[in-house]
Structure 1
Amino acid sequence: MEAVRFGTSGLRGLVSDLLGWASLGHTLAFLASGVAARGAGADRLLLIGEDLRASSPALAQDCARAARLAGWTPVACGPVATPALALQAMQRRSPAIMVTGSHIPDDRNGLKFYTAEGEIDKADEMAIMTAFAGLPGPISNDDDVPAAAETGVMARFAARYRDWLGPDALTGLRVGVYQHSSVARDLLVDLLADLGAQVEPLGRSASFVPVDTEAHRREDLTRLAEWAATGRFDAIVSTDGDADRPLVCDETGRPVRGDVLGLLVADVLGLRTLVTPVTSSSSVEAAGPGRTVLRTRVGSPFVIEAMQAAQAQGHEAVGGFEANGGFLLASDIERDGRILAALPTRDSVLPILCALLEIGRRGGRLSDIVQTIGAGNAAADRLQGVPAERSGPFLARLESDVGYRSRHFAPVGAVAGWDAIDGVRVHLADGSVVHYRASGNAPELRCYVEAGSSEAAETLLKWGLTRAADALEYQT
């Protein structure tokens, strides 16, 4: 049970640890803590969605059993995108649980919790953990629980964007959709076609593919480049497993960085206040003169909390994004007399649409559009299989031991400054940045870098990973 814990967004753990009491008990705790009831109607419905992992149906059944035990009615929404379930919860005034491990491998999974008001925050996570600790021990319940079916969740989510943009918004664009095992693989094909694009499905998979939009698998990069080399596409798009993170590739098959997508969305929507974690490039502040940029720790709950605080202080046109590309919209946006309502949870579809809209508006190549944004040169990857008990001491020593920190970075330059807002982020004398942090979702040590050119960033990233692996005596 110690391996099951809240990460940057939601409860995560090995499937073997989550099945049974862990998922059932945390659902009971969500319902008993009072968190689930906030803003909810009197019908006591719990919406339950799932991604396409092999373990997700069984975990969804655990959540349904817990709902029945707690006197709630489980409502099975089936395979749906996480932002679609969040939207449905807000519209139905019902809490929701999304069974998903997002981008992490198939032997892991998780639960994301939503109230009728939106995604839960860190205080809510603490309330759930406290309620879980107070439960009277493991409860065994293997009964099949029939749940009412909620249909149309994905259709209503697609309608949100179709109604906002109209049928001809993407006319003339040629778009490949890398489907793999994304829960939004069919939604993307249908929505983009409805908006006028010529769409070609690519790479559909019968088994789960752990697409991480911050740390791309080599085999994915190869496939994307091969598809792009045919010259058939203005862009190739995709999402992670639960469709709250986008993957957008330019006409060469090169993925567009998530923070660049965030800035692109801000330009298209005319947002004036942006909230983003410290892992986004430090050039974000310089990319949009006149904007307010607020920095947070990594994780959508922190971004949401900062967006809410900004609005409480009178900021308007507020949005947030993470380095993984997921965009959170805090303000209603008008376009040609149509309103796109706020959806303050991580979403992949909005960044995809905004990137395609810009290609159509400018009539050029996405690679050229990216260059005009001026978001600097950054890269990121990770060492997998590094549990917290190994990464923790390494990060703690980098933070506390000045001599060790200087020696660690000496091969690439003198340390000019650093912070420990989330992990250890070091600024070097030449302006480069190396940032190490432990993933909150999986046993990984992440490395983010910035440098003067894309080539220098890739070189620095390789050095950063190799240097950390040596320090950890990591076996590749």
Structure 2
Amino acid sequence: MQVFGSSGTRGVANEELTPAFALRVAKAAGSVREASRFAVGRDTRETGRMLENAVASGLAAVGADVDRLGVVPTPGLQAYAADEGVPAIMVTASHNPPAYNGLKLVGADGVELAVEALERVEEALLSEAFETVAWDETGRDRDVEGTNRRYVERVCGAVDAERVAEADLTVALDPGHGAGALTSPDVYRELGCRVVTVNGQPDGHFPGRDPEPVPANLDDLGRLVRASGADVGIAHDGDADRAVFYDEDGEPIDASASFAALAAAELDAGDTAVSAVNVSQRLVDVCEAAGAELELTPIGSTRIMTRIAQLEAEGAHVPIAGEGNGGVIFPDYRVSRDGAYIGARFLELLAADEGRASDVVAPYDDYANVRVNVEYEGEAEREALLAAAEAYADDAAAADDAGLTTIDGYRLDYGDAWVLARPSGTEPVVRVYAEARAETRARGLAEDVAAALRAALD
């Protein structure tokens, strides 16, 4: 797909992602989906209302009424879409920096559009096959109140609230000035937790930290955990569809380790888990121990959700899926990433074990992960980087040093470690991921591949 990458379409707002472009996407989506009514929401970004207006105009131009939800987490918009039976468009750039914005398309079942459906929308967009209507048939829009409240109640009703409350937990929360600031504090308080927050004010400038919830951006959360004596720290990205954790000592928990802990509690023999090609060995080990299958996809929530639907149509049971970035999916709850719900499920683990967050993930803490970004400018540099990655991978595989997987980028498995190089679907970088039991081994692999890529630009 040229427009819709691994999770929607994104770009620098008012430069790459303009109101005119957003209007065209909405007209294409409205024309292809053939729905008389859509929902539209946005995260806290400064350009969110501008682009929401463009989206609403595009939908109205093809005859669709618009429910404006305002600032809402992506999973809140998805819950509304499923409850009302209407497709939706979310204006968000998720974890990208403040200057970015984006569009995410959701079906009437509350699930991000599958690859095939996105391709139809993209075809209509690129060919401008819009089905605009006469002036007296244009859609109307209305403001919808209470979406966030409905979402909070839904999350709280889907977990063992009594067990969590009995554990008397203190939660340190960092919603990162994003949409989760409007909902996650209420979720955890209503589950009976004491909640303390940092970066808890909605603010599209993201003054406290960048939206991506990675350790480099979460020093304040670690300090808050230690200062408050919290049992766990929870952080979201800009649209709150992901959750990452800090332990009781204010130290970051690797998101692959928390994913593995959640998966171990869900999987039984005969089940199937779905993850991306950069899957951690932790999840591989959990699946093997449970007697469950593991299906790999290209990176990105769209690819994962598409595969979940295919597997369930074939009769498989997929109780958990996602990626090791905090984007865990519980398909029995909903086929979407939901940061507040992920956090609540982790609180269930804490309550069930009557232990510390570090104890919950200790069985899955045997590997170190390293990620390096190699930036490029323009298509020529991108192609040079990918050619270098292919050459590096082919050489390693030919020397029988590693097994090669090319489902999405180039992954080399060394038995004790692996490394993957692939282009980002949302930013002008080629990402190099590596994992090993020793950080020095992982970092060495990642830096070796990154150096080969950078050499291609010299």
Q: What is the TM-score of this pair, normalised by structure 2?
A: 0.88
Which amino acid letter does the alignment assign opposite residue 11 of structure 1?
T
Are 1:275 and 1:303, in contact at CA under 8 Å, matched by a contact in 2? yes
Q: State yes or no: 1:310 paired with 2:299.
A: no
Name the structure with the higher helix share: 2
> Aligned in 2, Cα 1:377/1:217: closer, same or farther, shift over 3 Å?
closer
Which amino acid letter does the alignment assign opposite residue 444 of structure 1?
V
Which amino acid letter does the alignment assign opposite residue 124 of structure 2?
A
Are 2:75 and 2:337, in contact at CA under 8 Å, matched by a contact in 1? yes
State the alpha-carbon separation in 2 of the partners of residues 352 and 7 from structure 1.
27
Out of 366, 371, 387, the residue aligned to residue 380 of structure 1 is: 371
State the alpha-carbon separation in 1 of the partners of residues 354 and 296 from structure 2.
33
Q: Which residue of 1 aligns with 2:292?
A: 291
> Aligned in 2, Cα 1:180/1:374: closer, same or farther, shift over 3 Å?
closer
Out of 394, 409, 433, the residue aligned to residue 448 of structure 1 is: 433
Which amino acid letter does the alignment assign opposite residue 253 of structure 2?
V
Q: Which residue of 2 aligns with 1:153?
A: 147
Which amino acid letter does the alignment assign opposite residue 23 of structure 1?
A
Secondary structure (helix, strand or coil) at the match of 1:434 reads: strand
Q: What is the TM-score of this pair, normalised by structure 1?
A: 0.84
1:346, CA displacement in angstroms?
1.9
1:180, CA displacement in angstroms?
2.2
Q: Which residue of 1 aligns with 2:136?
A: none
Q: Which moved more, 1:455-464 or 1:360-369?
A: 455-464
State the alpha-carbon separation in 2 of the partners of residues 362 and 229 from structure 1.
21
Are 1:434 and 1:448, in contact at CA under 8 Å, matched by a contact in 2? yes
1:390, CA displacement in angstroms?
2.1
Q: Which residue of 2 aligns with 1:212?
A: 212
Out of 258, 262, 265, the residue aligned to residue 261 of structure 1 is: 258
Are 1:88 and 1:153, in contact at CA under 8 Å, matched by a contact in 2? yes
Which amino acid letter does the alignment assign opposite residue 86 of structure 1?
Q
Cα deviations by residue, 1:455-475 (Å, 9 ceiling, x for unpaired): 5435544555455444434xx
* 1:138-287 to 2 correspondences below 5 Å: 147-165=141-159, 167-171=161-165, 172-204=168-200, 206=203, 207-208=205-206, 209-213=209-213, 216=214, 218=216, 220-230=217-227, 232-270=229-267, 272-287=271-286
Q: How many residues align?
A: 439
1:305, CA displacement in angstroms?
2.0
Which amino acid letter does the alignment assign opposite residue 212 of structure 2?
D
> Aligned in 2, Cα 1:447/1:386: closer, same or farther, shift over 3 Å?
farther
> Aligned in 2, Cα 1:223/1:378: closer, same or farther, shift over 3 Å?
same
* 1:344-355 to 2 correspondences below 5 Å: 344-355=335-346
Out of 33, 42, 53, the residue aligned to residue 50 of structure 1 is: 42
Q: Which residue of 2 aligns with 1:301?
A: 302
State the alpha-carbon separation in 2 of the partners of residues 467 and 211 from structure 1.
30
1:438, CA displacement in angstroms?
0.8
Out of 9, 12, 17, the residue aligned to residue 11 of structure 1 is: 9
Q: Which residue of 2 aligns with 1:122?
A: 115
Are 1:307 and 1:318, in contact at CA under 8 Å, matched by a contact in 2? no
> Aligned in 2, Cα 1:369/1:389: closer, same or farther, shift over 3 Å?
farther
Are 1:99 and 1:110, in contact at CA under 8 Å, matched by a contact in 2? yes
Q: Which runs of 5+ in 2 are unaligned?
A: 133-138
1:197, CA displacement in angstroms?
0.8
Are 1:243 and 1:348, in contact at CA under 8 Å, matched by a contact in 2? yes
1:385, CA displacement in angstroms?
5.5
State the alpha-carbon separation in 2 of the partners of residues 126 and 106 from structure 1.
28
1:376, CA displacement in angstroms?
3.4
State the alpha-carbon separation in 2 of the partners of residues 252 and 281 from structure 1.
24
Cα deviations by residue, 1:45-87 (Å, 9 ceiling, x for unpaired): 2100001111110000001111211111111100001111111
Secondary structure (helix, strand or coil) at the match of 1:180 reads: coil
Q: Which residue of 2 aligns with 1:437?
A: 422
1:388, CA displacement in angstroms?
5.0
State the alpha-carbon separation in 1 of the partners of residues 388 and 432 from structure 2.
16
Which amino acid letter does the alignment assign opposite residue 427 of structure 1?
D
Which amino acid letter does the alignment assign opposite residue 114 of structure 2?
D
1:91, CA displacement in angstroms?
1.0
Are 2:384 and 2:457, in contact at CA under 8 Å, matched by a contact in 1? no
State the alpha-carbon separation in 1 of the partners of residues 22 and 431 from structure 2.
27
Which amino acid letter does the alignment assign opposite residue 376 of structure 1?
Y
1:97, CA displacement in angstroms?
0.3
Are 1:99 and 1:109, in contact at CA under 8 Å, matched by a contact in 2? yes
1:284, CA displacement in angstroms?
1.7
Q: Which residue of 2 aligns with 1:336?
A: none
Are 1:388 and 1:443, in contact at CA under 8 Å, matched by a contact in 2? no
> Aligned in 2, Cα 1:245/1:131: closer, same or farther, shift over 3 Å?
same
State the alpha-carbon separation in 2 of the partners of residues 167 and 401 from structure 1.
51
Which amino acid letter does the alignment assign opposite residue 75 of structure 1?
D
Q: Which residue of 2 aligns with 1:324?
A: 325
Q: Which residue of 2 aligns with 1:337?
A: none
Secondary structure (helix, strand or coil) at the match of 2:175 reads: strand
Are 1:185 and 1:238, in contact at CA under 8 Å, matched by a contact in 2? no
State the alpha-carbon separation in 2 of the partners of residues 203 and 73 from structure 1.
35
1:453, CA displacement in angstroms?
2.5
> Aligned in 2, Cα 1:402/1:153: closer, same or farther, shift over 3 Å?
closer
Cα deviations by residue, 1:386-414 (Å, 9 ceiling, x for unpaired): 555423322233325667x44xx99xx97
What's the RMSD between the two structures over aligned residues? 2.7
Q: Which runs of 5+ in 1 are unaligned?
A: 38-43, 140-144, 332-341
Secondary structure (helix, strand or coil) at the match of 1:169 reads: helix
State the alpha-carbon separation in 1 of the partners of residues 222 and 384 from structure 2.
39
Cα deviations by residue, 1:301-357 (Å, 9 ceiling, x for unpaired): 2212221222222222533111222122322xxxxxxxxxx3112222222112222
Q: State yes or no: 1:26 paired with 2:60.
A: no
State the alpha-carbon separation in 2 of the partners of residues 21 and 89 from structure 1.
25
Q: Which residue of 1 aligns with 2:402?
A: 416
Secondary structure (helix, strand or coil) at the match of 1:210 reads: coil
Cα deviations by residue, 1:1-22 (Å, 9 ceiling, x for unpaired): x9x8211011122212322221
Share of identical aligned residues, percent? Answer: 24
Are 2:368 and 2:435, in contact at CA under 8 Å, matched by a contact in 1? yes
> Aligned in 2, Cα 1:270/1:470: closer, same or farther, shift over 3 Å?
same
Q: Which residue of 2 aligns with 1:100?
A: 92
> Aligned in 2, Cα 1:152/1:402: closer, same or farther, shift over 3 Å?
closer
State the alpha-carbon separation in 1 of the partners of residues 391 and 318 from structure 2.
39
Are 2:392 and 2:449, in contact at CA under 8 Å, matched by a contact in 1? no
